[in-house]
Chain A
Amino acid sequence: MIRRARPFGSGSLLVYLLALVAVIVTLGPVVYGALGGFRSNEQLARDPSGLPDPWVFSNYTAVLTKEAFWRYALNSSIVALITTAVAVLFGVMAAYPLARYQFKAREPLFMVFVLGLLFPAAVAIIPLFILVTRDLHMANSWWGVALPQAAFALPITVVILRPFLMAIPKELEEAALMDGASRIGIFWRLVIPLSVPALVTVGVLAFVTSWNAYLLPLLLLQDDMRTLPLGVADYSSEHSSDTAGVLAFTTLAMIPALILFLAMQRRIVSGLQGAVKG
């Protein structure tokens, strides 16, 4: 995105000062958590806001050598990957006819997805719990959490993807149609490759949402199947006196989503922008 300089462009000292305050307030708790993990409980108790002195690495190594941590991380990854794959594939498939075909039910069908945005997972959570555990026998499994999460991620996926698919030049598809390609062939060989940037945006959103999810995994997953947020919450309540350990655990649990976000930042921003402009 090319941006010309705005008038009133140069920042004054006050602007920098305010920006600094914003940065400190934003990063403060995160940095506190990361640094706190390098301190001992005794250091934390003596001076809650000090720097590590000396630096203690045992909290982090203790978490990293804990088998449970890796199992939770593995569960989080697999659940998030399944959620993302299902939401992106089904989402782009649904968005395609909504963007490209002319049929009577098109707008009503799109409204179904828009309305889906309004359904908080909390409303459906208890029947969902009963459905997954009793009827589908998928309690305590990766798919049991990933499928409902994908279903709840679908509305935003479709809403973001539709305008993007509309913007793909129609001439490309027309040419392929002339050459005798089928609609479904065009979808796989033309539309999917062309929409990779948008798919990455919705994919990252679905992944981060799933990685961070709490309520549904809380109800559906026990013991070895738990995900990192559940592990963090449990660890925090079980080892409430081991503040440094809790902080090390939380810091490590934050890292994957942060890295993914930093790597994909641009695309998330442009995706959100598209969503806002509808």
Chain B
Amino acid sequence: MIDEDVDTSTASAPLGGATPRAVRRVAPRPVGSGWRQRLEIAFFVTPALALMTVFVVWPVVAAVRMSFYRWKGFGPMDDFIGIDNYRYVLTDEVFTDAVTHNFIIVFASIVIQLPLGLAVALLLDRKIRGRGLIRTIVFVPYVVAEVIAGVVWYQLLQPESGVIDGLISAVGLTPPEQGFLGTPNLALATVFVVLTWKYLGLAILLFLAGLQGVPTDLYEAAQLDGASWWQVQRRIAIPLLGPTIRTWCFLSMIGSLQLFDMVWILTGGGPANATTTMATYLVNQGTGRHNYGIAGAASVILFVIGFLMALVYQVFVLRRDTAVER
């Protein structure tokens, strides 16, 4: 009664006079709106807003403020230096490399994880034995903590004693001398492989959920018309999966920009900064070296990049979905 009457009122708008909306609003509600409703809303919303203000909004605002000061973490924060921290961060090669690494992960996720996840989801959408079990299994890495998964992969990837090197030697190839994580050219790609292992299950699960929304009749009709399996997937399943794919891309982009745990455990950002990300950079500057102002500037830049990306994505990509679906 109170909510979502917009659609019904426009759909069944009578010829002039009072809209059904106005009628419905008055009738079933014994208590008038106004102050009482406002009080109720405040009662329900205040705890969540207060918690978010204290632990999310305030720290973000504080990070912005901190970014304009030279501050080592002790004494009052009174050495205002304007945009010097930003100048430092933006000209620091370690940081610009970190941004590049984040974007490489964003790009690689979409180019590699998306088709891979889609392929597995389309395969698992067929009627095969043990489908439920397989679906559960592919989701297992997502549930394991990134740190714990990282520690196991770290062991697997140890040069010489690790299983991966063993497997590679077994097929007659020579593993890299410093190990996959110790070789600057390979470290980022290796981190990406581990991330793919960890997060592909989420993509598969989301795509499978989306595929359940595709009406079976469409497949049947296409099959009667003589379409092959691949044609059906390409012309029907994948296009109808569009909104799910676009949502996944969004989540994946945001996650890739915030990358921290796995890198911290696997490489700590090394070797020779080959795997630093914006998040490892700012934690390193902040809690590692106590350059709080620099860390603040780095976090503001990280947030701005994420925000701009989200905005652009919302305007150019996601808008289609909201326009079509609602």
A residues with CB within 8 A of B: 1, 3-11, 15-16, 18-19, 22-23, 25-27, 29-30, 32-33, 36, 44-45, 47-49, 86, 89-91, 93-94, 96-103, 109, 112-113, 116-131, 147-148, 150-152, 154-155, 158, 166, 170, 174, 177-178, 180, 183-184, 187, 208, 211-212, 214-215, 219, 228-230, 232-233, 236, 243, 246-247, 250, 253-254, 257-258, 261-262, 265, 269, 272-273, 276-278
Contact = CB atoms under 8 A, between A and B. Distances in A.
Q: For the complex, would chain A's binding face be called helix, strand, loop or mixed by DSSP majority?
A: helix
B205 A272 contact: yes
Interface string B146-166: 111101111110000111011
A216 B319 CA distance: 34
B79 to A, nearest CB: 16
Given A124-B56, A170-B1, 4 more contacts: A22-B138, A102-B2, A147-B54, A246-B155
B69 interface: no
Nearest to B206: A276
Interface stretch (B35-43, B103-111, B183-191): B35-43
Contacts of B243: 276-277
Q: For the complex, would chain B's binding face be called helix, strand, loop or mixed by DSSP majority?
A: helix
Contacts of B1: 170, 174
Contacts of A103: 37-38, 41
Given A100-B3, A276-B247, A123 B145 contact: no
Contacts of A215: 260-261, 264, 283
Interface of B: 1-5, 25, 28-31, 37-38, 40-41, 43-45, 47-49, 51-52, 54-56, 58-60, 62-63, 66, 73, 120, 123-130, 134, 136-141, 143-149, 151-156, 161-163, 165-167, 197, 201, 205-206, 209-210, 212-213, 216, 219-220, 223, 229, 232, 243-244, 247-248, 254, 257-258, 260-261, 264-265, 278-279, 282-283, 286-287, 292, 295-296, 299-300, 302-303, 306-307, 310, 322, 325
Closest A-B pairs by Cβ, 3 of them = A11-B128, A212-B145, A124-B59
B146 A214 contact: yes
A122 B305 CA distance: 14
27 contacts: A6-B126, A8-B223, A9-B127, A10-B126, A15-B126, A18-B120, A49-B167, A90-B47, A93-B44, A103-B38, A113-B48, A117-B254, A119-B56, A127-B60, A131-B59, A154-B51, A183-B31, A212-B144, A215-B261, A257-B145, A258-B140, A258-B143, A261-B140, A261-B143, A262-B136, A272-B205, A276-B244
B2 to A, nearest CB: 5
Given A102-B3, A118-B306, A125 B163 contact: no
Given A6-B125, A8-B219, A101-B41, A26 B138 contact: yes
Nearest to A122: B279
Contacts of A47: 166
A24 to B, nearest CB: 10
